[in-house]
Structure 1
Amino acid sequence: MAEDDIVKDILTSAINLAVQVIEASNETIFFKKECDEVKNKVQKLLELLEKALIASSSLCEFPTRHVISIAEAMRRKSLSLFYKGIPRVTNRFITIIHVSTYQKMLVGLERSINDVSWLLNVSVPSNDGEQEELFGLPPFAMNDPTLSMIYELMAILYRGTLDEDSCEAARSLRSMASDNPRCAEIMIRNGLCSVFAKILRQGSMRAQAEVACTTSVLVASFPESQDLFAQHDVIQLLLSHLVTPEVEDSLQMKAMAAKALRELAKGNSSICKSITDSKRFLRFANLLETQDKQVRYNSLMVLTEITAVAEQDSDLRRSSAFKCKSPVFKAIVHQIHKLTGENGDTVLLIPCITLIGNLARAFRASDTSMIEQLVKLLGHQDPKVSREAIVALTKFARPSNYLHNDHSRAIVEAGAARRLIELSSLGCEIRIPALELLICIAAHVPEKEEVVKVLECASNQPLTNSQMC
């Protein structure tokens, strides 16, 4: 059922209940004055609900559901009270109702009137398209002001009347979520996923970019939201933004869409499969060629997260995207090979190396070019690059890799042994991974005397204080 239809059903049910309460009030004979006061409040509430029904397309489901549920509870209490004041033939006892009960009912109904008035105010734009200034908090939010603020920002986004207002609302939600994970959870639990999906379908490019960026922050703050976003089709909506023509705004949109997809894919097999099964997955290879560094980096990080999951998930690893003969695999590997060959920008280089390591099980024995590239990087001037290259090569040489013997020989033949002995003389952050890799290849290529000699040399080296872990 569409959200507009859900809101209409909620309001129609609420209106029917209000009419029922008014009809019951006309039949009461006890405490007539108090009943009339309650009836007047319900009548005023009914008028507001009818206005809300007319404007239902502008109302978000969850704020509406929250406010109306409180109002319904009060009307049900009113109905129960009025029924007790209706004379019936079967009644054998007189029901005694204290006047204070009516007073509490009046207070509760007044709060509901204020709640619904607030809902209309934040959801329905004025004639000039701008939001009216709000004063104070609605009664329902007195104990939790954050909820009211979140609902107001969600309503601005949902209406989408002014582009700048939508962008500012998305930025405000992002700031709240990054400062406090509880705020992120409140947003998600109260329907922000559906609001974001609407913006990603219909909003301006600027608003969509802001929403995509906020999505990444929300998911990072509240990882449980990954599947909720997926249920609202946000994954496919973000992927669709990766194929738009490249102009300034769309580059920002692509960068933010990739940033959001990175967080959504992190550690989530089903979402990773949804991305890799998409025809748009090939687009990531093209994005790695884009001149915009932010787009390249964020796209690279999406691939790194997906391959990290595939490394642990055999079902995902067996999908067509990770078959060495598939066009997607070839295109991505080709671009990664180019990026590692340039090896000037460590910001891009390190995740490239990580990605190669994650894909180590997918390479055939004859695919030695990546291994040769990694061995060259062992001599990189940045120790972080050298260490990441060691970790990636180790994934080729581990026994868990079916082709570990072939890969180990390729590592040795690429000249890794001597480079590793040089690295094993450095601090423990590099020394230990280097020795682990040497042990792996020594176990799998015992006929290579060079490796054995290198290991003997490494074992005879004394540890300095800076090298001890």
Structure 2
Amino acid sequence: MDRHIFQFNQVDDHHQQPPIEEVLSFPIVLSDRILHAVDDSKSYKLECADVGKQVDRLSQMLRSAVRLANSTPSFYERPVRRIFTDVAKTLNRALNLVRKCRRGGFFRRFVSIVGVVDFRKLFNLLDASIGDVKWLLSIFDVDGESGGIAGGGGIVLSLPPIASNDPILSWVWSYIASLHFCSINVKIEAAHELSSLSRDNDRNKKIIIEEGGISPLLKLLKEKSSPEAQIAAAMALCNLANDQNNTRVIVNEHGIPNIVQIFRNSPILVQIEVAKLIARMAEHDSVSQEGFARENVIGSLVSFLSFNMFIDDDGLRGKTNKFLKKVIHPNVEINTQVDRSLIMCSDNSNKRGKKEPQDLILEFKTNCSGALWMLARGSIANSRKITETKGLLYLAKLIEKENGELQINCLMTIIEITAAAEYNPDLRRSAFKTNSPSAKAIVDQLLRLIHESDNPVTKIPAIKAIGHLARTFPSRETRVIGPLVKQLSHKNPIVGTESVIALCKFTCEENFLHAEHSKTIVEFKGLPPLMNLLRGNERTQYHALVLLCYLAMHAGINESFEQRRLLTALEGADNSVACRHSELRELVAKAVQYLKILS
């Protein structure tokens, strides 16, 4: 038996997981051995008898906890393991102390290392163990048989001794236990409390995840009979998925297929929160990006973004299903419940007095566009999937008709797709062909924003996206160069700098038409504002010098005045920012040499 005790402690010290059956049975075995040892005690008989009384009480409570655990359909192990293991350590200590009292006699008592202080310490530990098991009984006692708090239909928020130094731990245990055992209304409350805790700090998130909060939240997310429960679960999961490790736990719990299924088959209020969850997971984890793509959530997102895009509100109900069937990508399975949910939940929201249908649809589209952006970010495969649907056309339409967050999300999605196309020739050729209606629609909207927008938040993404597409434009496409040159004089220095960076992609040697584009920039009087940018910050100076070098080498400048100004500017760069960047210094020297040969 002593060897068994030693092995159990060794397992616990190494944080391995013994079978739950062993965890449940071992403290009861120890308590029986203590009671036998108490009967054999010869010294400190009164103290040993008191130990026996406490251990007997604890033993009865342990047996009740085991019965409740075995009869509970959804068994929550974490607090049971922690408390039963801690109780076993206390009982092991009690057994060793009582065994030392087996032999009597004055001399044995006098030289014994056992003292009253040892028993006092043991009584305190046993009291703490009794308190812990009593608390454990309260969270398991969903039927109120033991008078537990949970039996009254609420969440147990008492503090067990084991968590006296860390109340958050006991709260997390209580909330997660409620997700396992309690009624749907209590589960909703528990999910909201976990969501609130996870918003406070990252430590709380870590505790919730380590204590097994993800699995019951995913189960609650599938509670189709209660949209409110689904919303609460989605919000909690979204707050927890704030980094790669946390997000990967959701993935490993097979969460992605369930999340996608709920997204497609739920009322719009649920879909809004699930779209936020998809965006958050895709933002932090590339495995999540791939997983959602495998479940073809991209097709669903694109179809939802196109909802109500080309039909009048008066015909919304009658045409919804027909329209969605027409615009959904052929690989996406049609589900009429998804179509109806867009209407049904809007009606429900009106009855509650919360939001008008159009406001609700706008919020839904905004979150769908955010999810699409995160799925496309840094992923060539997902960007390709978007272009294989009618995604580009719908994104262009939304950029044209909408504003605010929805428009920005669509712009950021376009940036990700064009950035992927810049470095992937196959995607560039397939998605942004010159005669492609969707590509033309995108370019038209980007140029419109560059021309008309006064907001750098929308103007800058449009400039960046045009720069990513620089290799797709033919030499005759001067309508793209002109607006970028005009932005070189913009009052916002960031707009000017991003325009320079975009023009560099037209004039660099990697662009087959660099000479033609360089000449167009000079023809549009791009040199004077460009040289003015040399008075900007270091980042602006750096990119302005790069573009000046490209123009010097590729434009074949003929006007002697402009040529002299350019030569002077480049020669002066040797004493400025170029000195701090070896690759720029070499480029400037090459351009200066080229201009001197021309002159």
TM range (shorter): 0.7 to 0.9
TM-score normalised by length of structure 2? 0.66
Q: Distance in 2 between matches of 1:294 and 1:147?
A: 36
Q: Work out which of the residue numbers 213, 217, 224 in structure 1 matches 2:235.
A: 213
Could you tell me which residue of structure 2 aligns to residue 68 of structure 1? Answer: 84
- Quick one: distance in 1 between partners of 2:60 and 2:86? 17
The size of the alignment, in residue pairs, is 436
RMSD of aligned alpha carbons: 3.3
d(CA) in 2 for partners of 1:408 and 1:22?
Answer: 88
What is aligned with 2:443?
A: 371
1:142 to 156, 160, 164: 164
Partners of 1:24 and 1:83 within 8 A in 2: yes
1:93-134 Cα shifts (integer Å, max 9, x gaps): 986422221221121111111111112213322449534686
Q: Which moved more, 1:255-264 or 1:170-179?
A: 170-179
CA spacing shift, 1:458–1:117, aligned 2, 3 Å: same
Query: Which SS does the other structure have where 1:55 is aligned?
Result: helix
Alpha-carbon shift at residue 223 of structure 1 (Å): 5.0
The alpha-carbon distance between structure 1 residues 32 and 143, as it changes in their structure 2 partners (threshold 3 A), is: same
* Aligned twin of 2:62: 49
Change (3 A) 1:159 1:385: same
Cα pair distance change 1:280/1:223, threshold 3 Å: closer
Aligned to 2:451, what secondary structure does the other structure show? coil
The structural deviation recorded for 1:457 is 4.4
- Partners of 2:389 and 2:63 in 1: CA distance: 60
Deviations 1:337-357 (A, max 9, x none): 332242x32311111121122
Aligned partner of 1:32 in structure 2 is 45
- 1:18 and 2:31 matched: yes
Amino acid at match of 2:461: E
Q: Which amino acid aligns with 1:452?
A: V
Amino acid at match of 1:37: D
Q: Any conservation in 1 of the 2:198–2:204 contact (CA below 8 Å)?
A: yes
Which secondary structure does the structure 1 equivalent of 2:377 belong to? helix
Quick check: 1:282–1:328 contact (8 Å CA) kept in 2? Answer: no
| Per-residue CA distance 1:23-61 (angstroms, 9 max, x = gap) | 444444443332222222222222222222222225522
Offset at 1:240? 1.6
Of 334, 337, 361 in structure 1, the residue corresponding to residue 396 of structure 2 is 337
1:82 corresponds to 2:98: yes
Question: Contact 1:409–1:441 at 8 Å: present in 2 too?
Answer: no
After TM superposition, the runs of 4+ consecutive aligned structure 1 residues lying more than 6 A away are 462-466
Residue matched to 2:14: none
* Counterparts in 2 of 1:375 and 1:95: CA distance versus 1, 3 Å: same
Give the AA of the match of 2:160: P
Tell me if 1:180 matches 2:215.
no
Measured in 2, the distance between the counterparts of 1:414 and 1:305 equals 33
- After superposition, the Cα gap between the structure-2 partners of 1:275 and 1:133, relative to the gap in structure 1 and judged at 3 Å, is closer
SS in 2 for 1:309: coil
1:52-82 CA distances to partner (integer Å, 9 max, x unpaired)?
Answer: 2222225522222222222121112122223
Q: 1:389 aligns with which of 458, 462, 481?
A: 462
Equivalent-residue separation in structure 1 for 2:478 and 2:84 (angstroms): 70
Partners of 2:498 and 2:391 lie apart in 1 by 27
Report the 3-state secondary structure (helix = DSSP H, G, I; strand = E; otherwise coil) of the residue aligned with 2:236.
helix
Moved more, 425-434 or 363-372: 363-372
Q: Is the 8 A contact 2:175 2:190 kept in 1?
A: yes
- Equivalent pair of 1:267/1:309 in contact (CA under 8 Å): no
Out of 530, 533, 547, which is 1:459 matched to? 530
Mean Cα deviation higher: 372-381 or 183-192: 372-381
User: Residue type matched to 1:354 in 2?
Assistant: M
Shift of 1:143: 1.2
Q: Which amino acid aligns with 1:105?
A: L
Write the distance in 1 (CA, Å) between the matches of 2:151 and 2:406.
Answer: 44
Report the CA distance shift for 1:329/1:133 in structure 2 as closer, same or farther (over 3 A): closer
The alignment status of 1:124 with 2:141, answered yes or no, reads yes
Look up the SS of the partner of 1:271 in the other structure: helix
Report Cα offsets for 1:216-266 as digits up to 9, x if no partner: 12223x553111222222233222211115xxxx21211111211222221
SS of 1:447's partner is helix
The amino acid across from 1:49 in the alignment is: L
Judge conservation of contact 1:216–1:263 (CA < 8 Å) in 2. yes
In structure 2, give the amino acid aligned to 1:330. Answer: T
- Which one has a bigger Cα radius of gyration? 2
Q: 1:152 to 1:135 in 2, by over 3 A?
A: closer
Match of 1:417 in 2: 481
Corresponding residue for 2:407?
Answer: 349
Equivalent of residue 302 in structure 1, options 347, 367, 371? 371
User: Match for 1:283 among 297, 300, 303?
Assistant: 300
Q: CA deviation at 1:274?
A: 1.2
SS at match of 2:162: helix
CA change 1:428–1:43 in 2 (3 A) is same
Report deviation, 1:289.
Answer: 3.2
How far apart, CA to CA, are the structure 2 residues paired with 1:417 and 1:328? 25
2:242 maps to 1:242: no
Gaps of 5+ in 2: 1-17, 145-149, 308-357, 422-426, 541-599
Evaluate the alpha carbon distance shift between residue 279 and residue 452 of structure 1 in structure 2; reply closer, same or farther with a 3 A threshold: same
Q: Structure 1 182/215 Cα, relative in aligned 2: closer, same or farther at 3 Å? A: same
Match of 2:498 in 1: 433
TM-score under structure 1 length normalisation: 0.82
Residues in 2 aligned to 1:462 and 1:32: alpha-carbon distance in whole angstroms? 93
Residues 276/133 of structure 1: CA separation in 2 closer, same or farther (3 Å cut): closer
Seen in structure 2, the aligned counterparts of structure 1 residues 16 and 148 have a Cα distance that, compared at 3 Å, is same
8 Å contact kept, 2:220–2:229:
yes
Distance 1:462 1:306 in 2: 36
| Structure 1 residues 283 and 86: CA distance shift in structure 2, 3 A | farther
For 2:269, the equivalent position in structure 1 comes to 252
C-alpha distance 274-105 of structure 1, shift in aligned 2 (>3 A): same
